[in-house]
């Protein structure tokens, strides 16, 4: 997260998307979640959130750029605020403006990053003095991907998402995100994998890497478990992956349970030229991997 103090009672936070550089789904847990093994990487596609305290309790959430996104109790911003109110007896409220730039239900953790930003804003604006570990623990109660956003932006993520280990890897490369605009239900994606309680799979151990080439070679040893089953149901995903590789990407992969795909390039491609080589009406976005600290610096 990138944090800017606006006034003593207001903050602006740039909340980043993430991609999964690799993703294994190991088995279904007794609590209904799945154990995963993944390398999360924050990228320079941001939702912009402005938070301002107000004397009245509750929140007034305004969403820009997305008329379909709920402002009700299923929104992770609302869930995060309600959790903080319950745990810390917060009496006043927040006015929140959310400029939604990260696609919804796209495998980029757009809702989770907004929930994490809300926990952070409550901590700062209401002077709760929580450290990153405590905020991550709170986030895990409402969303499996939320704890990641209290790390460095590069983490090995295990368990159901609550075990986060900062894992520095080279970041001097470029990414192109491609969203084909199809809907892939996360629940359906997990169901298609058919991971039961007794399913056994050896977790991939990512070696330390000093260069992008070393990183790519390591990542080629482990993909995204959702990718094969999703491509079977949505052939356009395979077309995009092949197209990225045929146009200079060192690695092409799906993020999360999809549908967003990414290509990893050693040099920045010409985005318009790249887009012209694909026949589908898909959304392309150029981003960079980022790291950050919780004082707002990158």
Active site residues: 18, 145
Whole-number Å distance between alpha carbons of 253 and 22: 8
Closest CA to 144 of 225, 34, 230: 34
Give exposure, 244-279, as e/b (b: 16+ Cβ within 10 Å): beebebbbbbbbbbbbbbbbbbeeebeeeebeeebe
Which is it for the CA torsion 75, 38, 291, 267, positive or negative?
negative
Which is it for the CA torsion 208, 214, 217, 223, positive or negative?
positive
Between helix 76-88 and helix 132-140 the angle, nearest 10°, is 120
Tally helices (H) and strands (E) across the chain: 8, 11
């Amino acid at each position: 997260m990138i944090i800017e103090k606006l006034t003593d009672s207001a903050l602006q936070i740039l909340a980043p998307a993430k991609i999964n550089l690799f993703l294994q789904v190991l088995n279904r847990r007794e609590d209904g979640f799945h154990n995963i093994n993944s390398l999360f990487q924050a990228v320079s596609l941001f939702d912009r959130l402005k938070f301002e305290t107000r004397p009245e309790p509750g929140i007034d959430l305004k969403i820009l750029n997305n008329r379909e996104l709920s402002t009700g109790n299923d929104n992770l911003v609302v869930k995060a605020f309600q959790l903080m109110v319950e745990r810390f007896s917060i009496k006043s409220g927040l006015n929140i403006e959310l400029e939604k730039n990260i696609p919804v239900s796209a495998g980029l953790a757009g809702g989770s990053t907004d929930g994490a930003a809300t926990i952070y804003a409550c901590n700062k604006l209401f002077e709760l003095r929580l450290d990153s570990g405590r905020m991550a623990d709170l986030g895990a109660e409402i969303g499996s991907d939320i704890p990641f956003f209290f790390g460095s932006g590069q983490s090995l993520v295990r368990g159901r998402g609550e075990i986060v280990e900062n894992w520095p890897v080279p970041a001097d490369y470029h990414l192109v995100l491609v969203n084909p605009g199809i809907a892939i239900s996360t629940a359906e994606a997990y169901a298609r994998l058919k991971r039961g309680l007794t399913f056994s799979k050896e977790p991939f151990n990512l070696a330390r890497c000093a260069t992008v080439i070393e990183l790519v070679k390591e990542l080629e040893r482990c993909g995204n478990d959702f990718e094969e089953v999703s491509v079977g149901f949505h052939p356009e995903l395979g077309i995009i992956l092949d197209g990225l590789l045929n146009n200079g990407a060192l690695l092409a992969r799906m993020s999360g349970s999809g549908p967003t795909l990414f290509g990893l390039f050693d040099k920045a491609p010409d985005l318009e030229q790249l887009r012209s080589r694909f026949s589908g009406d898909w959304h392309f976005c150029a981003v960079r991997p980022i790291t950050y600290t919780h004082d707002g610096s990158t």
